[in-house]
A and B are shown apart, each in its own frame.
Chain A
């Protein structure tokens, strides 16, 4: 049984435009994927592709004007409601946690980090304050914050970006979740700090047998810290598979263009042809969402997208995939 399975998730933003007409932005258009226990999935795509939105939907945090129009989310075999209401018993927040981006704004500036780490545990059933306190110290140690006992008394503004990000990782893992979603966990951190933070994160996730979803636009992070990857474009996962296979085969033309845009690839093969503008979510084309930018697009791309199986766990949504080389 998969730990997490998402089936045909559709999220629309419905709001009135300046002419008072209702406008619908189709932000997620049939997102489907599964995650097995112990796996780390990288979710990549450009701005507006729906990466963070998928995470919010998993956590039940979408609020109007976002609306889940269709879809099914199953976690450990149990179906999750598409919206959570306060007071509902739900694995969200305890078994599924989020490590948000921008560490400096995600901590409560008016509480010491120790109190925040204890509050998170109390919220999810740990009533013994002494135990929660000990657990907070243990977690700070695990994310390699020096002198954790003293650091519990620190205020968020006293932490550097890298330290604050470690505290958020500690907060995300403190209740021993089964699935942790890290949304751009290292954006804005320096290269050397990024490497340390990712090493700590990966080690803790693996050691505790958790699964993780890393949302990022950095293919380097996906290549070296994820087992599987899903490439999103205009609210659709257009390719999903084991990292080595997706990078190796580059079956979908969009995956290929993403990899061709990395400086290393440009240095070896020169600049690829120019890309078009981002898709208009208010007016998506019928058939393939990528066809307006795809160099291979043909008449067949106007028809409903097929899902092709390319081997174990490797799927691509394309009429004209690149042949496997």
Chain B
């Protein structure tokens, strides 16, 4: 087994809430990403997906737990040392309109990371920016333009170019395509896929679009109210989601094909407030299969397949998995 590129060990992030209470946005999350691997992160809004992305890039400090990047504990690395490391961990945000300085030309925006992270001269930088533009299929003329003059898809290409300028080893993508049109989205996904294959950069893809995650990632992590409830190889989870929450989530997906018959699981209502979490298993308040045992303690992870050593483990935190009574009954509906 290779040494993981990045590893999170029981990471917790708490935010203060009204009346001195605390909300755990991310709770005891452990995960690892191998070099060149692409990991997907799915969950509803409020499940802590974006917070996890911010923690991983150290854009927000952890409350407890450890973050290890390439063998080095970076949990409490000083800002100076972190700045050095930033060239290796880069992020692409959801909203490309908000992610770029409106008063800088796109070319200048793209030169910024090169200024920070490379010893290139001015002339070399210009060349590098022009190469980057080619890399992300951005017309040369747009380098002289300002962000408001470009389309959303082009702006997202600029953000990706900035992120890959310093040749990072980990790219955290927080909903990189959800604000874009379908056809533009496909172009961005293709670009990310090519970049990963050619440079060997590892990807963390945060998304609520299941089909995008299925297409782009090798491993998948399902987050519910800040805790991992299931993780494993993407294909395996899509073929046989084990946790009742994952099953519910997947059954709500609407494939863009009218010939697919939807098989719906019973409706489960809305996600509870993180201020008032259910006891035990966090899904127990919505789970159709809940037992008394589920409300006592958060269930232990059970390995369904694979092994931790080969980083292909498929594990799930559900009490009903032990006696294989975790399958929800589907109602077929013809829409």
Contacts and interface: CB of A to CB of B under 8 A. Distances in A.
Contacts of B254: 195, 218, 220-221, 223-224
A15 B251 CA distance: 47
A207 interface: no
B259 A191 contact: no
Given A191-B208, A225-B335, A263 B257 contact: no
B212 A263 contact: yes
B205 to A, nearest CB: 12
B256 to A, nearest CB: 4
Contact of B264 (A191, A195, A263, A265): A195
A24 B43 CA distance: 44
A221 to B, nearest CB: 6
Contacts of A284: none
B214 interface: yes
Contact of B44 (A163, A192, A219, A262): A192
Contacts of A219: 182, 256
A114 to B, nearest CB: 21
B262 interface: yes
Contacts of B210: 191
Contacts, number: 113
B250 to A, nearest CB: 9
A259 B252 contact: no
Given A160-B270, A192-B249, A244-B258, A261 B44 contact: no
Contacts of B186: 260-261, 266, 271-272, 275
B181 A217 contact: yes
B256 A264 contact: yes
A271 B189 CA distance: 9
Interface of A is mostly: helix
Interface in A187-220: 190-196, 199, 202, 217-220
Interface in B269-299: 270-271
A247 interface: yes
Contacts of A222: 256
A116 interface: no
Given A47-B181, A190-B44, A191-B208, A275 B187 contact: yes
Contact of B255 (A195, A220, A260, A271): A220
Given A192-B248, A219-B182, A224 B335 contact: yes
- Residue of B186, B189, B259 with most chain A CB atoms under a 10 A cut-off: B186
A22 interface: no
A299 interface: no
Given A191-B208, A191-B249, A220-B255, A262 B335 contact: no
Interface in B225-280: 248-249, 251-260, 262, 264, 267-268, 270-271
A274 B335 contact: no
Nearest to B179: A47
A243 B258 contact: yes
Contacts of B335: 202, 224-225
Contacts of A263: 189, 209, 211-212, 214-216
Nearest to A271: B190
Nearest to B137: A274
B180 to A, nearest CB: 9
Interface residues of B, number: 43
B119 to A, nearest CB: 34
Nearest to B187: A274
Contacts of B253: 191, 220
Interface string B165-191: 000000000000000011111110110
Given A223-B255, A243-B258, A274-B137, A196 B187 contact: no
A243 B257 CA distance: 9
A241 to B, nearest CB: 12
B64 to A, nearest CB: 28
Contacts of A32: none
A311 B216 CA distance: 38
Contacts of B264: 195, 199
Contact of A267 (B154, B185, B214, B267): B214
Interface in A214-259: 217-225, 243-244, 247-248, 257-259
A266 B208 CA distance: 18
A73 B10 CA distance: 61
Contacts of B257: 223, 247, 264
Interface of A: 46-47, 160, 162-163, 190-196, 199, 202, 217-225, 243-244, 247-248, 257-267, 271-272, 274-275, 277-278
| Chain A to chain B: the 8 pairs with minimum beta-carbon distance, closest first | A220-B254, A219-B256, A263-B211, A261-B186, A195-B252, A46-B181, A263-B215, A271-B190
24 contacts: A47-B152, A160-B270, A190-B45, A190-B208, A191-B208, A195-B251, A195-B254, A202-B335, A218-B254, A219-B256, A220-B253, A223-B255, A223-B258, A260-B186, A261-B183, A261-B185, A262-B182, A263-B189, A263-B212, A263-B214, A263-B216, A274-B190, A275-B183, A275-B187
